[in-house]
A and B are shown apart, each in its own frame.
Chain A
Amino acid sequence: MDIIIVLLSVSGLIFFFATTVGLLRFPDFYSRMHAAGKGDTLSSLIMLMALVLYNFHEFNLASLLVAAKILLIGVFIFMASPTATHAIIDAGYESDIQPWTKEPEEES
Chain B
Amino acid sequence: MDSFFIGIGVVLCFLMFLALHRAVHGPTAIDRIMGVNVIGTKTTILLVIIGTIYGRVDMFVDIALAYALLNFIVTIAASRYFQHHKNLNPKGYGYRFREEDK
Contact = CB atoms under 8 A, between A and B. Distances in A.
Given A40-B41, A66-B61, A13 B11 contact: yes
A4 B28 CA distance: 41
Given A36-B34, A80-B68, A95-B85, A70 B48 contact: yes
A24 B79 contact: no
A89 to B, nearest CB: 9
Interface residues of A, number: 45
Contacts of A103: none
Contacts of A66: 57-58, 61
A40 B79 contact: no
Interface in B17-40: 18-19, 21-22, 27-28, 30-31, 33-35, 37-38
Given A87-B80, A91-B80, A80 B65 contact: no
B35 to A, nearest CB: 7
A84 B28 CA distance: 17
Given A20-B18, A97-B30, A13 B41 contact: no
B95 interface: no
Contacts of A19: 38
B88 A92 contact: yes
A41 B51 CA distance: 21
A17 B16 CA distance: 10
Given A70-B48, A72-B65, A90-B83, A96 B88 contact: yes
18 contacts: A20-B18, A23-B18, A23-B22, A23-B38, A29-B31, A36-B34, A44-B44, A51-B48, A51-B49, A69-B62, A70-B61, A76-B65, A87-B80, A91-B79, A91-B82, A91-B83, A95-B82, A95-B85
Interface of A: 2, 5-6, 9, 13, 16-17, 19-20, 23-24, 29, 32-33, 36, 40, 44, 47-48, 51, 54-55, 62, 65-66, 69-70, 72-73, 76-77, 80-81, 83-84, 87-88, 90-92, 94-98
